[in-house]
Amino acid sequence: MEMDALSLSYEEWKTFVTDVLKEPRFRADQICGWVYAKKVFEASGMTNLSKSLRDKLTSESFIKTPIQVGEKKSKDGTRKFLWQMDDACRVESVLMNHGSHTTACVSSQAGCPLACTFCATGQAGYARNLTTSEILGQFLTMERRMGRDINNIVFMGMGEPLLNEENVLKSIRALSNEKMRNLGARHITISTSGIAPGIRDLADFEVPLRLSVSLHAPNDALRSRLMPINKRYPLSALVEAMKYYKNRTCERITIEYVMIDGVNDDPQLAFEMAALLDGLDVYVNIIPYNPPLAISQGAPVYARSSDAKIKEFCAALGGLSIEFEIRRERGADIAAACGQLAAMGRSSFIGSAHY
């Protein structure tokens, strides 16, 4: 059977090259250089390989990147890509510019099973985990499409990355491996809704990453209302896992906190959050709530906190010496902002002529 080349780790590449292609191991470095650095996905374009090796590579392996079926560009330069996988599953990725730097926000699952009440992805339902090649394919295809390297990758698209840990970590190994994509450790971020055992695994993972935890509420009653996963991993378990991560890695964790009007924006909750996270030395990202374009039936209708309310909440954080930043909204006009990705098949792209 032909090998799905993007699913291979560096070690697996070497084995594939020696055992299947019957070539010396260093050929793996050459091939990975073509695929990951130069974005040449067809063996015929790998010009420093012999004709017979190119032919063998073509017959023994394939690179299948997601098919791009849509692209939208925001007035702030943010782009949203819609991909279709082999089984017609659709997911979205977002590409953001910050000056000369670019960040790709990729999906780890088609939909998300965790059904957070404020999130368009969660409300749209869940299809399946993405494979390692589907995750890498989003990133590499965007690089190929843009004709330049992307500087950062964040797992903040559709899905919960720590529910698809094996494929997410395998894709990160490939991205960070110096013979493959060679992306710096500080340039990879995982955002999680708080899968406590997964956070512990990240603490022990060999590639140093950045970790963001979506907190959104500092007590179990409110958090369980917003994020059903909190019933499985309540705040006590989440905080324990974060402390383990902090002790193992000495890395600062970012807390994400979406501001929803009248729900979690009372400054009193800032004090509760400070008490909960005491000793963790976190950095807080305040995200003004982005309303989804379509609200599913029965889902609560939320609104964004007013600027005055956000200021008041942040003043409380500042008074408690907690560092924070209010995240600038990107791509909201094309539904590319945090929590707005919802393409699953019934996507906003289908039947739309806007791109």
Q: Residues interacting with ligand SAH, by CB under 6 A? A: 118-119, 156, 160, 191-193, 214, 256, 258, 287, 289-290, 338-339
Give the Cα separation of 161 and 107 in Å (integer).
8
Give the Cα separation of 264 and 70 in Å (integer).
35
Helix, strand, or coil (residue 165) = helix
Count of CB atoms within 10 A of residue 165's CB? 19
Q: CB of 227: closest distance to ligand SAH in angstroms?
A: 8
The structure tokens listed for 281 are 């030395």
Q: CB of 31: closest distance to ligand SF4 in angstroms?
A: 34
250 is catalytic: no
Give the Cα separation of 118 and 173 in Å (integer).
32
Nearer to ligand SAH, 156 or 235 (CB): 156
Q: Among all residues, whose Cβ is closest to ligand SF4? A: 122
Q: Among all residues, whose Cβ is closest to ligand SAH? A: 339
Element holding 129 (H helix, E strand): strand 126-129
Nearer to ligand SF4, 32 or 104 (CB): 104
Spot the catalytic one: 92, 134, 165, 256. Answer: 92
Count of CB atoms within 10 A of residue 267's CB? 15
Query: In Å, what is the CA distance from 119 to each residue of 37, 63, 162, 239, 263?
Result: 35, 33, 17, 23, 14
105 is catalytic: no
User: Taking CB within 5 to 8 Å according to partner kind, which of ligand SAH, ligand SF4, none is near residue 341?
Assistant: none
Nearer to ligand SF4, 112 or 136 (CB): 112
Nearer to ligand SAH, 152 or 192 (CB): 192
Q: What residue ranges bind ligand SF4 (CB under 6 A)?
A: 112, 114-116, 119, 121-122, 159-160, 193, 214
Spot the catalytic one: 32, 89, 112, 338. Answer: 338
Nearer to ligand SAH, 156 or 316 (CB): 156
Query: In Å, what is the CA distance from 23 to each residue of 30, 47, 107, 206, 224?
Result: 12, 16, 35, 29, 55
Q: CB of 185: closest distance to ligand SF4 in angstroms?
A: 23
User: Taking CB within 5 to 8 Å according to partner kind, which of ligand SAH, ligand SF4, none is near residue 287?
Assistant: ligand SAH
Give the Cα separation of 345 and 62 in Å (integer).
26
Residue with token string 């070690």: 11
Give the Cα separation of 303 and 120 in Å (integer).
14
User: Taking CB within 5 to 8 Å according to partner kind, which of ligand SF4, ligand SAH, none is near residue 338?
Assistant: ligand SAH
Instruction: Kindly list the catalytic residues.
Output: 92, 338
